[in-house]
Structure 1
């Protein structure tokens, strides 16, 4: 057995237990996880390819969709291969720096995903409430700047997590009772005062998630008001269907993420299995659903996929 601690203040590796008390089901649980991961990767890469080759799709809505697809691929791939290795091959150990890198990618790209969903809500608001000004407000330059701002926000706010943890001493216990390295799970193994880290974590969560949820909610309230004023019942039904599907994707990200965030800090009575399953949902489900909701339901992309599968030109 290799030593779990070297001469420095941090372990050589952490042990990811997986899903405690469900060890005998690990092999079977991996199959739906693998299917969701493959669907996420194939679906998002397909969307990226279609948007890249079709110049008629180089518009704000599709550029934001490409950002979301890229984020989903990175977010899924930062966790799922290791999770499957744990469930299928009992590869429970993760090197210390690899764990911190996983923390960085999970939280950075969760922040980016939230920000991209916010920008997509703003795009829909402008398209529905000010359709004549849409092309002049959301130019390609503005879209790129919004995407860059969302990315920089995630990098700037999340990077301190890793730097703060890397300078702290760890307890002899190096076991993380879940499937991946997450900020609060790693922080619980630190043998020092972590109040600054916890306060900063709350600040990041509320400044990112809080702001994005407020903007998304305000955008969809104004969108729904505009939809209700449409003269055609068919147009209202179609718009409601689109809004409902988009809101469903947003809730699939925020509800499990909020549940996991609050459980780490206040939900000591929540069964650990429930906590772990919710923690996995917000990393597994949105990347799988986004290509279906935003891709398959978008006529231009759906037509492109159908023509590509049938071997015909659009």
Structure 2
């Protein structure tokens, strides 16, 4: 489908180019993308199954982790199938409603991921700084309320985005130089002043990811202060070890996110290729890495996974 440069108040479809400049390599690029998607689905599904089946893992930290794993699965499924269709079959057209739905789900789910990471930090802070009240504070009812609050924040704060974008006149082109529909990419196609929309998007970004990150950092400052004030030095590695997996998840989520934000704000001279690759790393790598991190570094999950595979191996032999 050819792109149109005439006025298109309400285009019926948008065209996703994938990775401009690498069209000839799209088929080969689809292989690592598909591999990451499969690993993400399998890893998070296994993690959810292990947490559900193991009573010792029915603790606040792992319940929040299961919420994060479920969100990661939906994030990957929101973008990867269409991206693979672009790479493998050159199916670049996406209906406007599907594009807006993808954009909304993508941003709202990313906000939820950040919220669940913050909830896990709060759990670690409560467990280490005030262990005697940990179970009293993070009851099943409290965990459910926190989880619902994180979901509702993502749903409500991002709800105006698709309605605002649907009303914009797109008089430049209907071509999106990206692998998926993204808010800023759609705003740039509009031929009216979008200052208010951009400002709202920045405010939402601040009260979600940036504020979450600040609170996560404050939580770990309290955790470290509590650990190093304890008289027993032998207990410090154990206390820090309970946080190590979560720290890896924090770094894996926020480092690509901040690179993505910085490139959007200050990387105007960079090639579009860099923007698209960083954006895809931000979306695809954390959902794949999170179950691997917890599977390797968390003893209870690691042992349970080994038991699952050893039992299946024994049944296959017998």
Q: Deviation per CA, 1:124-160: give whole Å up to 9, x if none.
A: 1111111111100100100110000000000010010
TM score, norm. by length of structure 1: 0.93
- Within 5 Å, give how 1:188-203 maps onto structure 2: 188-203=188-203
Normalized against structure 2, the TM-score is what? 0.91
- Show structure 1 runs of 5+ residues with no match: none
Distance in structure 2 (CA, Å) of the matches to 1:288 and 1:3: 35
For these two proteins, the number of residue pairs brought into alignment is 313
Q: Supply the distance in 2 between the matched residues of 1:121 and 1:286 (Cα, whole angstroms).
A: 17
Equivalent residues in 2 for 1:16-35 (5 A)?
Answer: 16-35=16-35
Provide the C-alpha distance between the structure 2 equivalents of 1:16 and 1:67, rounded to a whole number of angstroms: 31
The offset of 1:79, in angstroms, is: 0.5
- Asked if 1:223 corresponds to 2:259, the answer is no
Q: Is the 8 A contact 2:260 2:282 kept in 1?
A: no
User: Residues of 2 paired with 1:19 and 1:241: CA distance?
Assistant: 40
Q: CA deviation at 1:263?
A: 2.8
Matches within 5 A, 1:56-67: 56-67=56-67
- Paired position in structure 2 for 1:105: 105
Root mean square deviation, CA, Å: 2.2
Aligned match of 2:267:
267
Alignment of 1:1-314 (within 5 A): 9-230=9-230, 235-311=235-311
Measured in 2, the distance between the counterparts of 1:13 and 1:235 equals 59
- Aligned counterparts of 1:32 and 1:215: Cα–Cα separation in 2: 34
Residues 18 and 86 of structure 1 are in contact (CA less than 8 Å); yes or no, is this contact kept in structure 2?
Answer: yes
Q: 2 CA distance for matches of 1:201 and 1:306?
A: 44
For 1:311, what is the secondary structure of its paired residue?
A: helix
**Contact 2:172/2:190 (CA < 8 Å) preserved in 1?**
no
CA distance in 2, matches of 1:256, 1:33: 17
**2-structure distance, mates of 1:89, 1:233:** 59
1:225 Cα offset (Å)? 2.1
Does the CA contact (< 8 Å) of 2:47 and 2:291 recur in 1? yes
Q: Answer whether contact 1:121 1:220 (CA < 8 A) is retained.
A: yes
Tell me the CA shift for residue 232 of structure 1. 5.6
Measured at CA, do residues 154 and 38 of structure 1 come closer, stay the same or move farther in structure 2, by a change above 3 Å? same
1:2 positional shift: 8.1
**Could you report, residue by residue, the CA deviation over 1:282-308 in whole angstroms, capped at 9, with x for unpaired residues?**
101110111112343222222211111
- The answer to whether the 8 Å contact 2:68/2:116 transfers is yes
